[in-house]
């Protein structure tokens, strides 16, 4: 989860920003060159007061118009040179910093793909989106402007004070007096601003999450008329963010006022003292003009400190947020060089004492899966049946290692799945989830995503035929038709058929299907089942099933109850011998309403002998009569 604001309070902004160095290193030459150009341009502005001093004490005092025109031309050239150099600096940094941002964004996206599902279960998608967009934009702006000008302005202030002390050291000391209070103000500001900056960036992530969920769930919002409540939720988060941003503005305004007022008071005092010295004859008018011009030239470098520190703090919190994700541990590859090629032994799919508890579950909570022992023989189709919440989907997610078992092991053809590369594992095991997910791509691209290597149009057509997805031919551009975000332009049954086609297009050796036919009408379901039987004859499959028609695809059935395999057998065997299975298949109601057999310690059913051969028949007859 994202760190809390208290975590931000204890972190070092410099340490956070130094983590950007690996990305900056390849373009360091241009960045250092841009900083050098900016320093030269800034120092040129300090030459202008010296030219003014020469003009006042020379041509003006000597009434030499030619000298005044020459001085004016020199001032013009200095101004043009300064502008050209600053423009050149911007050109130097634009392209490399765009590359740095692109590299960081690519690394973030690549890392997100390699993070375990447990990470994505905990993190809101809006928080991840804001880190890949808003935070990276802040980091690019920091590298382009504050980073350079903290160095440039610091150098300019140092050179400027050397010039001031060289012109008149007593007045220079007057201008140095505000340094200590400015350091105290900036230190206090930095600590407070870092907290409010982090709070604002986290709130942007929360707001992004709400926007994304509202867009993806627009059908639900409209269907239930919840647009007002969603608008209220969005408005509430917006008001919180507005309040935080106003707090940032007040904090920045107060520190900027102090940073502006304190040096202005020092300049006013220096002006009074300098005027007195000129009147006493101890200081030339040209020197006073040059001194005051130099002091005024240093106003922007000094006054910009607060603004630059604010941007630096926002960049530091953005870097923290970025590296929070990048520091998350990727899925571990534990296989060794002695891993055997899958298929050298024949063992099918086997669960041996498998246990699983979600990473964020309390330590004393019961595991979702406990001591699962199950063997799916080579070439066999095993149906997995159980009530809602029994752990069926979790069990199927363990096979392709979307989650890691917390105990026991899973083997494919005798080899532990943790002993093989995930890439190989996921080529051998193909999956179709209960909720079909499609991407903003063409129908063909979505289906071929499940292929191994360069699957061609022949494989695509075969997979579509198996899934009875002939509707694709009626689409405007056939398989090249773009389905849109989440495939919402298609019906639920169409999306489910494309997901099934994606699962079978690669001719996988092991197939895991999570209720793959739930959104189909009975006629389409019968056609898909007939085609799917041919596929299942050549593969080892684990199929989550809720309906008898899907169960009939399987050679055997495993009943999952309260996180354990309570019975294994054929459909007819379990129907006769296991009351819980009979109730699940019949969908019957108990005397007091729908029965959740998973909450019952035994396998018996009310009004029927536990385990009797016809335990479910009375309920089935009653349901038919109704």
3-state secondary structure (DSSP) of residue 288:
helix
Range 349-358+367-569 has CATH code 3.40.50.300: yes
Element (H, E) at 525: helix 522-536
Note the maximum CA span of the chain: 123
- Confirm if 260 and 303 have CB atoms less than 8 A apart: yes
Domain span(s) for CATH 1.20.1560.10 in the chain: 5-326
CA-angle at 317, arms to 112 and 312, nearest 5°: 130
Residues 6 or more apart in contact with residue 57 via CB below 8 angstroms: 284, 285, 286, 287
Separation CA 10–CA 514 (nearest Å): 46
3-state secondary structure (DSSP) of residue 351:
strand
Give DSSP secondary structure letters for 47-78: HHHHHHHHHIIIIITTT-HHHHHHHHHHHHHH
pLDDT reported for residue 585: 84
Residue whose structure tokens are 């923290």? 320
- Characterize the bridge pairing of strands 415-416 and 589-590: unpaired
pLDDT reported for residue 333: 66
Which of 164, 50, 30 is closest to 99 using CA atoms? 30
pLDDT reported for residue 559: 93
Superfamily of domain 5-326: ABC transporter type 1, transmembrane domain (1.20.1560.10)
Q: Which long-range contacts (CB under 8 A, 24 or more apart) does 337-344 make?
A: 339/415, 339/419, 339/420, 339/421, 340/414, 340/415, 342/412, 342/413, 342/415, 342/420, 342/424, 342/428, 342/509, 343/413, 343/509, 344/413, 344/414
- Confirm if 382 and 374 have CB atoms less than 8 A apart: yes
pLDDT reported for residue 454: 64
Separation CA 35–CA 18 (nearest Å): 17
Give DSSP secondary structure letters for 78-139: HHHHHHHHHHHHHHHHHHHHHHHHHHHHHHHHHHHHHS-HHHHHHS-HHHHHHHHTHHHHHH
- Characterize the bridge pairing of strands 429-432 and 510-514: parallel
| Helix segments in 380-456, DSSP class H | 392-398, 422-428, 443-448
The pair of structure tokens assigned to 187 is: 């230190």
The pair of structure tokens assigned to 455 is: 């699957």
Q: What is the 3-state secondary structure (H, E, C) of 529-541?
A: HHHHHHHHCCCEE
Domain span(s) for CATH 3.40.50.300 in the chain: 349-358+367-569
Residue whose structure tokens are 């006022």? 257
| Helix segments in 467-521, DSSP class H | 492-504
pLDDT reported for residue 621: 32
CB-based burial of residue 22 (10 Å sphere; 0-12 exposed, 13-18 middle, 19+ buried)?
Answer: exposed
What's the pTM value of the predicted model, to 2 decimals? 0.72
Sign of CA dihedral 64, 66, 69, 70: negative
Element (H, E) at 510: strand 510-514
- Characterize the bridge pairing of strands 593-594 and 589-590: antiparallel
pLDDT reported for residue 301: 83
pLDDT reported for residue 409: 92
Separation CA 583–CA 594 (nearest Å): 10
23-62 burial, b at 16+ Cβ within 10 Å, e below that, comes to bbeebeebbeebbbbbbebbbbbbbbbebbbbbbbebbee
pLDDT reported for residue 592: 39
Residue whose structure tokens are 């769930």? 217
pLDDT reported for residue 519: 65
Sign of CA dihedral 363, 369, 373, 378: negative
Q: What is the mean pLDDT of each run of 10 residues along the chain (626 residues)?
A: 50 83 90 86 81 76 78 85 85 85 92 86 86 89 85 84 81 81 80 84 86 76 78 87 88 83 83 83 79 80 81 89 90 55 64 88 83 91 88 90 90 90 86 82 86 75 86 88 76 83 87 79 77 82 86 90 90 90 72 38 35 34 32
The pair of structure tokens assigned to 303 is: 């006054």
pLDDT reported for residue 617: 34
């Amino acid at each position: 989860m994202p760190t809390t604001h208290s975590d931000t309070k204890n972190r070092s902004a410099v340490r956070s920003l130094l983590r950007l160095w690996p990305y900056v290193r390849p373009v360091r030459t241009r960045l250092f060159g841009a900083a050098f150009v900016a320093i030269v341009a800034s120092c040129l502005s300090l030459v202008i007061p010296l030219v003014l001093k020469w003009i006042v004490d020379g041509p003006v005092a000597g009434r030499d118009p030619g000298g005044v025109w020459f001085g004016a031309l020199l001032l013009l050239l200095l101004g043009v040179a300064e502008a050209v150099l600053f423009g050149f600096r911007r050109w130097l940094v634009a392209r490399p910093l765009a590359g740095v941002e692109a590299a960081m964004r690519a690394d973030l996206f690549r890392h997100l793909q390699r993070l375990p599902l447990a990470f994505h279960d905990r993190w809101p998608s809006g928080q991840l989106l804001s880190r890949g967009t808003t935070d990276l934009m802040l980091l690019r702006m920091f590298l382009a402007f504050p980073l350079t000008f903290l160095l440039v302005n610091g150098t300019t202030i140092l050179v400027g004070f050397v010039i001031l002390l060289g012109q008149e050291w007593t007045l220079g000391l007057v201008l140095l007096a505000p340094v200590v209070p400015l350091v105290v103000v900036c230190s206090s500001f930095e600590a407070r601003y870092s907290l409010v900056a982090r709070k604002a960036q986290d709130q942007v992530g929360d707001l992004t999450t709400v926007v994304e969920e509202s867009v993806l769930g627009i059908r639900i919002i409209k269907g239930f008329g919840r647009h007002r409540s969603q608008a209220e939720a969005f408005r509430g988060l917006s008001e919180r963010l507005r309040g935080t941003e106003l707090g940032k503005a007040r904090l920045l305004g107060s520190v900027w006022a102090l940073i502006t007022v304190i040096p202005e008071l020092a300049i006013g005092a220096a002006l009074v003292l300098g005027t007195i010295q000129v009147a006493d004859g101890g200081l030339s008018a040209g020197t006073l003009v040059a001194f005051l011009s130099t002091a005024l030239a240093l106003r922007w470098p000094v006054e910009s400190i607060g603004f630059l520190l604010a941007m630096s703090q926002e960049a530091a919190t953005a870097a923290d947020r970025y590296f929070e994700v990048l520091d998350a541990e990727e899925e571990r590859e534990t296989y060794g060089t002695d891993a055997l090629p899958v298929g050298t032994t024949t063992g099918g799919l086997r669960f041996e004492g498998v246990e699983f508890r979600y990473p964020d579950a309390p330590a004393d909570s019961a595991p979702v899966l406990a001591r699962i022992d199950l063997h799916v023989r080579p070439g066999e189709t095993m149906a997995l049946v159980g009530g809602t919440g029994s752990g069926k989907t979790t069990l199927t997610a363990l096979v392709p290692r979307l989650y890691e078992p917390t105990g026991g092991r899973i083997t494919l053809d005798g080899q532990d799945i943790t002993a093989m590369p995930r890439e190989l594992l996921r080529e051998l095991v193909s999956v179709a989830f209960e909720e079909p997910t499609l991407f903003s791509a063409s129908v063909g691209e979505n289906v071929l995503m499940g292929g191994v290597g360069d699957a061609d149009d022949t494989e695509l057509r075969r997979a579509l035929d198996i899934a009875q997805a002939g509707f694709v031919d009626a689409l405007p551009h056939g398989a090249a038709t773009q389905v849109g975000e989440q495939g919402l332009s298609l019906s639920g049954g169409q999306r489910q058929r494309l997901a099934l086609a994606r699962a079978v297009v690669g001719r996988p050796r092991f197939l895991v299907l999570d209720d793959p036919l739930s959104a189909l009408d009975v006629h389409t379901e019968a056609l898909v089942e007939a085609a799917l039987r041919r596929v299942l004859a050549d593969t080892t499959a684990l199929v989550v099933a809720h309906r008898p028609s899907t169960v009939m695809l399987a050679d055997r059935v495993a009943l999952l109850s309260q996180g354990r395999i309570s019975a294994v057998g054929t459909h007819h065997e379990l129907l006769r011998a296991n009351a819980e299975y009979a109730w699940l298949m019949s969908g019957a109601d108990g005397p007091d309403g729908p029965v959740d057999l998973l909450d019952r310690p035994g396998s018996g059913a009310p009004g029927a002998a536990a385990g009797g051969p016809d335990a479910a028949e009375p309920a089935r007859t009653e349901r038919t009569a109704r």
